[in-house]
Amino acid sequence: MKTNAHIKASYKFFLLKESRGESFSLDEIAKATGWSIVTVKTYLTKKWEKILYRQKNGKYLAKINNYAEAEYEKMMSQKDTLSQDPFRPNLPSNVEELVTKARDAAVLAIDIYNRPITLFRSEGYIVMMIIAWTALLHAFFESKKVDYFYKDTIIDGDKKAWELNFCLKEVKNLITDAEKKNIEFFIQLRNKIEHRYVPELDINIFGECQALLLNFEALLIKQFGNYYALSSSLSLPLQTTATKNDAQIKTMHQFQKKHYEELRQYIDNFKRGLKEEILSDNKYCFRAYLIEVPANNINTADYSLKVVKYDPNNPQAYAGLKKCIELIKEKRIPVANQGKFRPSDVCAILNERLGKKITMDMHTRAWKCYKARKSGRQPEGCNPEFCQYDVVHKDYVYTDKWVEYLVRKLKNTKEFERVKNYEINK
Q: Residues 116-162: pLDDT tens digits?
A: 767 678 888 999 999 999 999 999 999 999 999 998 888 877 889 99
Confidence bin at 376 (pLDDT 50/70/90): confident
- Least-confidence region, from 158-162, 179-183, 310-314: 310-314
- Burial track 25-48 (b if 16+ CB lie within 10 A, e otherwise): ebebbbebbebeeeebeebeeebb
Residue of higher predicted confidence among 65 and 249: 65
pLDDT at residue 312, rounded to an integer:
58
pLDDT for residue 254: 47
45 with 63, same domain: the answer is yes
Residues 153, 255: one domain?
yes
Task: Assess if residue 384 is contained within a domain.
Answer: yes
Residue 101 has pLDDT above 90, yes or no: yes
Q: Is 150 a domain residue? A: yes
Query: Under DSSP, is residue 387 helix (H, G, I), strand (E, B) or coil?
Result: strand
| Position with higher pLDDT, 231 vs 320 | 231
- 111 and 39 share a domain? no
Looking at the structure, tell me whether residues 103 and 182 fall in a common domain: yes
Lowest mean pLDDT among 67-81, 97-111, 189-203, 205-219: 189-203
Q: How crowded is residue 412: how many other Cβ atoms within 10 Å of its Cβ?
A: 11
Report the 10 Å Cβ neighbour count for 151: 7
Tell me the whole-structure pTM to 2 decimals.
0.62
Q: What is the pLDDT at residue 334?
A: 46
- The sign of the dihedral angle between the CA atoms of 129, 134, 135, 137 is positive
Higher pLDDT, 4 or 16: 16
Distances from the Cα of 247 to the Cα of 250, 251, 254, angstroms? 5, 6, 11
Alpha-carbon distance of 185 to 203, in angstroms, equals 16
The predicted structure's pLDDT at residue 357: 87
In a domain, 303, yes or no: no
Cβ neighbors of 155 (< 8 A, separation 6 or more) are none
Flag the least confident range among 86-90, 252-256, 263-267, 308-312: 252-256
pLDDT at 53: 94
Q: Are 33 and 133 within one domain?
A: no
Cβ neighbours for 27, distance < 8 A, ≥ 6 positions apart: 37
Would residue 131 count as lying in a domain? yes
364 burial level (CB within 10 Å; 0-12, 13-18, 19+): middle
Residue 385 inside a domain? The answer is yes
pLDDT above 90 as % of the chain: 42
- Mean pLDDT, the chain, rounded, equals 82
The answer to whether 292 and 221 have CB atoms below 8 angstroms apart is: no
Q: Are residues 32 and 123 in the same domain?
A: no
Asked if residue 245 lies in contact with residue 110, where contact means CB atoms within 8 angstroms, the answer is no
Does residue 332 carry a pLDDT above 50? no
Domain that includes residue 398, residue range: 343-420
38-58 mean pLDDT: 93
Shared-domain flag, residues 112 and 57: no
pLDDT at residue 188 above 60?
Answer: yes
- As a whole number of angstroms, the distance between CA 275 and CA 278 comes to 5
Instruction: Specify whether 212 is located in the same domain as 144.
Output: yes
Q: How far apart, in Å, are the Cα atoms of 121 and each of 183, 200, 255, 383?
A: 18, 10, 17, 39
How do residues 229-275 score in pLDDT, each as one tens digit?
A: 886 555 555 444 444 444 444 444 444 555 667 777 788 888 888 88
Cα 333 to Cα 276, 336, 413: the distances in Å are 12, 10, 43
The pLDDT, as a whole number, for residue 253 is: 47
Q: Say whether both 355 and 254 belong to one domain.
A: no
Residues 32, 9 contacting (CB under 8 angstroms)? yes
The CA R_g of the chain, rounded to the nearest whole Å, is 31
Whether residues 163 and 258 share a domain: the answer is yes
Report whether 114 contacts 243 (CB < 8 A): no
Answer left, alpha or beta for residue 333, where phi above 0 means left and psi between -120 and 50 means alpha.
beta
List the single range of 106-120, 150-164, 188-202 with lowest mean pLDDT.
188-202
Question: Other CB atoms closer than 10 Å to residue 330's CB: what's the count?
Answer: 8
* Residue 23: band (very low, low, confident or very high) from pLDDT cuts 50, 70, 90: very high
> What is the rounded average pLDDT of the residues 295-324?
58
Task: Give me the pLDDT at residue 114, please.
Answer: 85
- What DSSP state is assigned to residue 283? T
Predicted confidence (pLDDT) at residue 349 exceeds the cutoff of 60: yes
Residue 25 lies in a domain: yes
Q: At what angle do helices 413-420 and 360-369 cross, to 10 degrees?
A: 100
In one letter, which amino acid is 315? P
Same domain, 263 and 388: no
Single out the residue of 150, 172, 169 nearest to residue 161, CA to CA: 150
Number of domains within the chain: 3
d(CA 113, CA 212): 13
**Average pLDDT in the 12-36 region?**
95
Q: Residue 44 is part of a domain; what is its CATH number?
A: 1.10.10
Residue 333 lies in a domain: no
Same domain for 71 and 137, yes or no, is no
Task: Among 256, 279, 302, identify where a domain stops.
Answer: 279
Residue 337: inside a domain: no
Helix-then-strand count for the chain, H and E: 17, 6
**Contact call for residues 5 and 12 (beta carbons, < 8 A):** no
d(CA 14, CA 26): 12
Integer Cα distance of 44 and 39 in angstroms: 9
Write down which residue in 83, 108, 139 finishes a domain: 83
Q: What's the first-to-final CA gap in the chain, in angstroms?
A: 103
